[in-house]
Copies of this chain bind each other. A is one copy, B any other.
Amino acid sequence: MTVQEAITTRKSVRSFSDRAVEREKLDQVLEAARMAPSARNLQEWRILVVRDSAARGALVEAAGGQGFVGQAPVILVCCAETNHHLMHCGLKSYPIDVAIAIDHMTLVATELGLGTCWIGKFDPEAVRTVCGIPEEIEVVQLLPLGYPADPAPVSKSRKALDEIVHWERWENTGR
């Protein structure tokens, strides 16, 4: 699958089949995170792989009762072991760098026929308690991973290109 195909067909999967994720595919997804770029090559991302059924159920509760999160056979708890490095522009690097690693995982998952969904609705303290994650580790996103119950593509609702692109100077929009 080409990159452009993966980007076009990736969707937020909120219903998963019972089919287990093969270890080889899981490893390919994790490898995609490992290869991500990061500020100063700090590689602050840390990924906790949760497959245990009881733990997934507890993560559903930590995610405000989003049942589909636990329906997935794997939940990737995407974290940062970070010194809260600030880039020169003033932003912390860790949310951006973990996002890059997650994006890599979502696209490789798509290529492998797997589905994911970015989950920012969770209580980080509850997630730490469920998984034994130390206080100093930042929990950035949950990423359920599994085979989609419905593999059909969806059409995405997105702004038009001329609503998001400016040319040469900010005041110049349109094509």
Contact = CB atoms under 8 A, between A and B. Distances in A.
The residue in A3, A87, A93, A124 that gathers the most chain B C-beta atoms within 10 A of its C-beta is: A3
A145 to B, nearest CB: 13
- A contact patch SS: mixed
A7 B103 CA distance: 11
A51 B168 contact: yes
A131 interface: yes
A92 B45 CA distance: 18
A1 B2 CA distance: 5
Interface residues of A, number: 80
Contacts of A118: 37, 39
Given A3-B107, A3-B108, A139-B89, A166 B46 contact: yes
Contacts of A52: 168
28 contacts: A3-B3, A3-B6, A4-B28, A7-B35, A34-B158, A34-B161, A35-B156, A41-B157, A43-B158, A43-B159, A46-B164, A47-B164, A48-B168, A49-B165, A49-B167, A50-B168, A87-B120, A89-B120, A89-B141, A91-B140, A93-B120, A96-B96, A96-B120, A96-B141, A97-B99, A99-B100, A107-B107, A133-B170
